[in-house]
């Protein structure tokens, strides 16, 4: 990368590398650093000791530091910052880095490294951090010269937050954090090899608008890019202006209000019938900040062959997301906010209007799919249905809480039944699907929004993957609510075994579960166990009334409940299994 070091100001202060790190974070307006100390970062911790620019949050496992920083970033849109030591600190952090990478979340990860002279000697707690993390970061750096530390951190923030966001790692050898240099923090960096496109091509945008206006069976497919690109307002205006149906991926939920009737639900493997059928049968598809993931489109040849005349417009800031799994007709590379604004301007000035008769017929068709009521479940059951818990959670929090989740069936029910009206309210791991994220995500969110309701929907298996963070929550007073949909199974695994492995439930039963109520109490929190449908609402209300306490709601749910609809792996979007089929 080209280095454009500005001339050092004669008066620039001389600081140690460790102090430079702290000052850079201050310049970036960082509020929280999530971390865990160790030998290679001791100088940096020493510099943190008496500074007031940011708070350091001491987690109980480096994985959680990354997840918490990631949760903070997802909820605020600002980059999350984590600090870990060399060797095991880094390897523990890798899951968190990869999780953020897969969902394009901006993070700056600072890692300690053994002293430069010891690199390559199998030194104590040495690992090839840059090598290990290379495939799961947007970029990484090893800083060998203290004079390059500040500009490198500047570059890290710049790269993490622009274009398609992602984690950037800065590896700092211990001697570099001890040495001194003149401190200068550049306001801007220019990298000749990195300049993400912002403006979309105007000719392509015109073509796209024309296609949209001519559509008889239009569909708007919204992904995480709209959330990441802060383009909810533009998207919402566009959908309402056109009065077209809109669906969202797991990562896009909240970008368009779920309470609007134009929203046809999530699409994909566990998407609604109306969303998946409209995707499969539309004549013009507008994909916005979505990447045609395999859990969304299912089998790409089925998707293409089933409707060969469908025209696809795809807006994405990353050219490599376009035509990766599905060939598109009108690619538009650019920032979603800019491109949507340009489209809106054209649409408002357009003389042509969508064909009202065709649109009405299309909505009628969608109405028929909707009438299948594919998310229905047994509301009279004597056992607690997980879907019911999420509906009540939505009701009690007035649909306005921040909901984090872990990975499994509970995640899908949260996505289907908590109707998100705002972006950045739904915080979960989609791309990597990392169990264990839920609690640390909730910590990051609660720190960012201390007055907001923050609930973590989890499962008895997932929660045990980062349960140690209950201690962090105690230390920093983070009164989040844990909604444990306890089905005594790795439910999502059990569901696949039921459907595709002849009910052979190999190793998916969660034996020897702890008493979660006592566990919560042992960490200094409140625990509740709920096993009757009639008690769900009261317990939730009570939990949210305990404003300043973390409450662990251990909710004993139906062990055999499955997530429907389901598109089996390798099948097409219209080949869903519905509850009524079984």
Partner 1 sequence: MRHILSILVENEAGALSRVSGLFSARGYNIESLTVAPTEDATMSRMTIVTTGSDEIVEQITKQLNKLVDVVKVVDLSEGRHIERELMLVKVRAAGKDREEMKRTADIFRGRIIDVTDKSYTIELTGTTDKLDAFLEALDKGAILETVRTGVSGIGRGEWVLKA
Ligand X SMILES: Cc1cc2nc3c(=O)[nH]c(=O)nc-3n(C[C@H](O)[C@H](O)[C@H](O)COP(=O)(O)OP(=O)(O)OC[C@H]3O[C@@H](n4cnc5c(N)ncnc54)[C@H](O)[C@@H]3O)c2cc1C
Residues near ligand X (CB under 6 A) are 103-104, 164, 223-225, 228-229, 249-252, 266-271, 289-291, 293, 295-296, 315-318, 321, 335-336, 407, 411-412, 430-431, 433, 492
Q: Which of 50, 122, 187, 192 is in the footprint of partner 1 by CB under 8 A?
A: 192
Contact 44, 112 (CB under 8 A): yes
Contact 29, 77 (CB under 8 A): no
285 binds ligand TPP (CB under 6 A): no
Q: Which of 91, 147, 323, 468 is in the footprint of partner 1 by CB under 8 A?
A: 323
| Catalytic-role residue among 19, 62, 248, 469 | 62
Q: Which of 406, 453, 469, 561 is in the footprint of ligand TPP by CB under 6 A?
A: 406
Strand 180-182, strand 14-16: pairing: antiparallel
130 binds partner 1 (CB under 8 A): yes
* Catalytic residue flag (residue 464): no
191 binds partner 1 (CB under 8 A): yes
Q: Which of 177, 387, 434, 472 is in the footprint of ligand TPP by CB under 6 A?
A: 434
Which one of the spans 1-9, 312-320, 334-342, 460-468 is the region binding ligand TPP (CB under 6 A)?
Answer: 460-468
Burial of 137 (0-12, 13-18, 19+ CB in 10 A): buried
* Catalytic residue flag (residue 398): no
What one-character DSSP code corresponds to residue 138?
A: S
**Residue 177: other Cβ atoms inside 10 A:** 28
* Catalytic residue flag (residue 174): yes
- Nearest CA to 72 among 62, 57, 94, 92? 57
Q: Which of 324, 372, 419, 571 is in the footprint of partner 1 by CB under 8 A?
A: 324
**Residue 144: other Cβ atoms inside 10 A:** 15
**Of these partners, ligand X, Mg ion, partner 1, none, which one is at the site of residue 220 (CB under 5 to 8 Å by kind)?**
none
Buried b (16+ CB within 10 A) or exposed e, 557-575: bbeebbbbbbbeeeebbbb
* Catalytic residue flag (residue 125): yes
| Catalytic-role residue among 124, 199, 353, 545 | 124
* Catalytic residue flag (residue 155): no
491 binds Mg ion (CB under 5 A): yes
Burial of 237 (0-12, 13-18, 19+ CB in 10 A): middle
Which x/- pattern, by CB under 8 A, does the window 144-163 give for partner 1? Answer: ---------------x----
Specify the residue, 4 or 379, whose C-beta has the smaller distance to partner 1.
4
How far apart CA 454 and CA 494 sit, in angstroms, is 29
Backbone angles phi, psi at 449, to 5 degrees: -130, 75
Which one of the spans 85-93, 97-105, 288-296, 487-495 is the region binding Mg ion (CB under 5 A)?
Answer: 487-495
Q: Which of 387, 409, 428, 497 is in the footprint of ligand TPP by CB under 6 A?
A: 409
Backbone angles phi, psi at 46, to 5 degrees: -65, -40
Q: Which two tokens stand for residue 360?
A: 């009405």
487 binds Mg ion (CB under 5 A): yes
Q: Which two tokens stand for residue 447?
A: 């720190």
Contact 463, 284 (CB under 8 A): no
436 binds Mg ion (CB under 5 A): no
**Of these partners, ligand X, ligand TPP, partner 1, none, which one is at the site of residue 63 (CB under 5 to 8 Å by kind)?**
none
Q: Shortest gap between Cβ of 485 and ligand TPP (angstroms)? A: 6
Q: Where are the alpha helices (DSSP H) in 230-297?
A: 232-242, 273-281, 294-297
H/E segment holding residue 552: strand 551-556
Contact 202, 29 (CB under 8 A): no
Q: Shortest gap between Cβ of 540 and ligand TPP (angstroms)? A: 18
- Nearest CA to 159 among 62, 31, 303, 28? 28
Which one of the spans 28-36, 85-93, 320-328, 487-495 is the region binding ligand TPP (CB under 6 A)?
Answer: 487-495
**Residue 300: other Cβ atoms inside 10 A:** 15
| Catalytic-role residue among 155, 174, 311, 385 | 174
- Residues contributing to the site for partner 1 (CB under 8 A): 1-2, 130-131, 134-135, 138-139, 142, 159, 191-194, 318-320, 323-324, 327
- Residues contributing to the site for ligand TPP (CB under 6 A): 406-410, 433-435, 459-462, 485, 487, 489-493
Residues identified as active-site: 62, 124-125, 174, 492
- Residues contributing to the site for Mg ion (CB under 5 A): 459-460, 487, 491
């Amino acid at each position: 990368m080209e280095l454009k070091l500005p001339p050092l100001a004669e008066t620039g202060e001389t600081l140690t590398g460790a102090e430079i790190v702290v000052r850079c974070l201050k310049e970036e307006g960082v509020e929280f650093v999530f971390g865990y100390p160790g030998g290679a970062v001791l100088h940096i911790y020493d510099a943190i000791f008496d500074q007031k620019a940011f708070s350091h949050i001491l987690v109980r496992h480096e994985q959680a530091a990354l997840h918490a920083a990631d949760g903070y970033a997802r909820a605020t849109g600002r980059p999350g910052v984590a600090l870990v030591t060399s060797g095991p600190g880094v390897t523990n952090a890798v899951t968190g880095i990869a999780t953020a990478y897969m969902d394009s979340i901006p993070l700056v990860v600072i890692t300690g490294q053994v002293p430069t002279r010891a690199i390559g000697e199998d030194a104590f707690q040495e690992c090839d951090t840059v090598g290990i993390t290379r495939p799961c970061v947007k970029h990484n750096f090893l800083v060998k010269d203290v004079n390059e530390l500040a500009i490198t951190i500047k570059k890290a923030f710049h790269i993490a937050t622009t274009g398609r966001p992602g984690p950037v790692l800065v590896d700092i050898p211990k001697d570099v954090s001890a040495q001194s240099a003149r401190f200068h923090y550049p306001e801007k960096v220019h990298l000749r090899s990195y300049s993400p496109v912002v403006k979309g091509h105007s000719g392509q945008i015109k073509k796209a608008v024309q296609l949209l206006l001519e559509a008889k069976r239009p569909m708007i497919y919204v992904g995480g890019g709209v959330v990441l690109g802060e383009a909810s307002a533009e998207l919402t205006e566009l959908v309402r202006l056109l009065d077209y149906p809109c669906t969202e991926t797991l990562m896009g939920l909240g970008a368009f209000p779920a309470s609007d009737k134009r929203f046809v639900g999530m699409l994909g493997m566990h998407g609604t019938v109306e969303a998946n059928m409209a995707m499969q049968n539309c004549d013009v598809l507008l994909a916005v900040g979505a990447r045609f993931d395999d859990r969304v489109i299912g089998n790409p040849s089925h998707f293409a062959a089933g409707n060969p005349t469908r025209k696809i417009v795809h807006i994405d800031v990353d050219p490599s997301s376009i035509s990766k799994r599905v060939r598109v007709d009108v690619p538009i590379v650019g920032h979603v906010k800019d491109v949507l604004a340009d489209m809106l301007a054209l649409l408002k000035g357009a003389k042509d209007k969508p064909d009202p008769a065709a649109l009405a017929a299309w909505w009628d068709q969608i109405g028929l799919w909707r009438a299948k009521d594919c998310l229905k479940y047994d509301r009279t059951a004597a056992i607690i249905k997980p879907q019911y818990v999420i509906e009540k959670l939505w009701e009690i929090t007035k649909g306005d809480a921040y909901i984090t989740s872990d990975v499994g069936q509970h995640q899908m029910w949260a996505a289907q039944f908590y109707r998100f009206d705002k972006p950045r309210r739904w915080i979960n791991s989609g791309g990597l699907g990392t169990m264990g994220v839920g609690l640390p995500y909730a910590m990051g969110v609660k720190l960012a929004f201390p007055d907001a309701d923050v609930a973590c929907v989890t499962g008895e298996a997932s929660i045990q993957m980062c349960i140690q963070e209950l201690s962090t929550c105690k230390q920093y007073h983070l009164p989040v609510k844990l909604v444990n949909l306890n089905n005594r199974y790795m439910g999502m695994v059990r569901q696949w075994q039921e459907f595709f492995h002849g009910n052979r439930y190999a190793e998916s039963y969660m034996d020897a579960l702890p008493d979660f109520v006592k566990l919560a109490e042992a960490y200094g929190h409140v625990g509740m166990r709920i096993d009757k449908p009639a008690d769900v609402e009261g317990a939730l209300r009570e939990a949210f009334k305990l404003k300043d306490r973390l409450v662990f709601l251990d909710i004993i749910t139906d062990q055999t409940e499955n997530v429907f609809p389901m598109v089996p792996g390798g099948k097409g979007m219209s080949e869903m299994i519905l509850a009524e089929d079984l």
